[in-house]
Each structure stands twice: as C-alpha cells, then as structure tokens.
Amino acid sequence: MDKELKALKEMVAIMLKKQNQLITENLELRKRCLSLESTVKMNHEMKNTLEEIKRENSALKGKCTNYEAALQGVQERLDSNLETGKEMSEMKLDEWKIWKKEREEEKVNFAEVVKQQIKEKTHTGHSYTGDQRKGRINESFGGQKEVYGYIWTRRKKEPSEICEGEGGERNG
C-alpha cells in the first residue's frame, strides 16, 4: 500500500501543479480577454466615428458642388457685367460732358446778366454798394442762382449786427 499511497501522493502533487498552471493560465487569458474587449469597444467607437465623418464628408461634397456651380454663375455674370460696365462708363462720361456743357452755358448766361446790370447802372447813374448789387442779382434770379457750383443767396446778418440794428446793446 505504501506504493499505492506514494503513487497517489505523486498524482495529487502533479494535479495540484497542473491546477496552479491552469489557474495562472486562466488569469492571463482573462486579462487578455479584457484587453481585447476594450480594443473591440474602441474599434466599434472608431467605426461609428468614421461612418459619421463619411456622412459629413458626403454632405460637404454636395455643398461644394453647389458652391462651385454658384461660383461659375457669378463668374459668368461678372464677365458679362464687365462688357456692360464698359458701355455704362461711356454713357456716364457722355452724361458728364453734357452736364459740364450746361454749367458752362449757365456761366455765360450769368456773365450776360451781370453785364446787363452794369449797363443799367451806367444808364441810370445809380451807384450801388456790393450788397446792393448782390441783392439786385438775387432779385433777378428769384433770390437764388447757382454759379460755379455755389448757391448765391442774401448774406445773413451776424449776431452783432442784429443787436445793433434793433437798438439793443450787446453785453460783451
């Protein structure tokens, strides 16, 4: 029996050794399994993110195509407007020349009115001051006349002239 007991002890020792090996191996496999599960989870999240990026990219490609078409339309309009712009510039230049010619004619007409008033002054023998002449010119044009781009009107009195003209004294 001794032999059987010895053989049984050896067998139990081998089984315990094998059990320890299996436990260690099992722990390593569990660690590896957990690692692989986290990798699978990360891969799944990356896959979802990649699909989302693909959807966004597809939408952006559509917008880009629309913008390219709009840009092409704007480019065509710009090209056609450049041709129209040259014609418009020529029309504006012609309008400006007509306006300038009208201003020159007004200068000549004003000069004639001044000459006429000078003749009237010499025929009547009246001597007018500068303000009186200006007043006569204003009266002949209804109170206002544009000359050389300025509107001629009666000169406004300064505040000191108003006080003195009304008999009031000005406190300095």
CB neighbourhood size of 135 (10 A): 15
Q: What is the pLDDT along the chain (172 residues), one digit of tens a residue?
A: 788 889 999 999 999 999 999 999 999 999 999 999 999 999 999 999 999 999 999 989 988 888 898 888 888 887 777 666 666 677 777 888 888 888 888 877 777 877 887 877 776 555 555 555 555 554 554 445 545 444 544 444 444 444 444 444 444 4
Structural domain boundaries, residue 62: 2-104
Note the pLDDT of residue 38: 93
Do the domain assignments include residue 50? yes
Note the pLDDT of residue 20: 95
Do the domain assignments include residue 88? yes
Q: What are phi and psi of 141, to 5 degrees?
A: -115, 25
* CA–CA gap between residue 23 and residue 16 (Å, rounded): 10
Do the domain assignments include residue 148? no
Do the domain assignments include residue 86? yes
3-state SS, residue 141: coil
Do the domain assignments include residue 169? no
Do the domain assignments include residue 55? yes
Note the pLDDT of residue 129: 53
Tell whether pTM > 0.85: no
Number of domains in the chain: 1
DSSP 142: T
Note the pLDDT of residue 88: 67
Note the pLDDT of residue 124: 57
Secondary structure (DSSP) of 5-24: HHHHHHHHHHHHHHHHHHHH
Do the domain assignments include residue 133? no
Do the domain assignments include residue 161? no
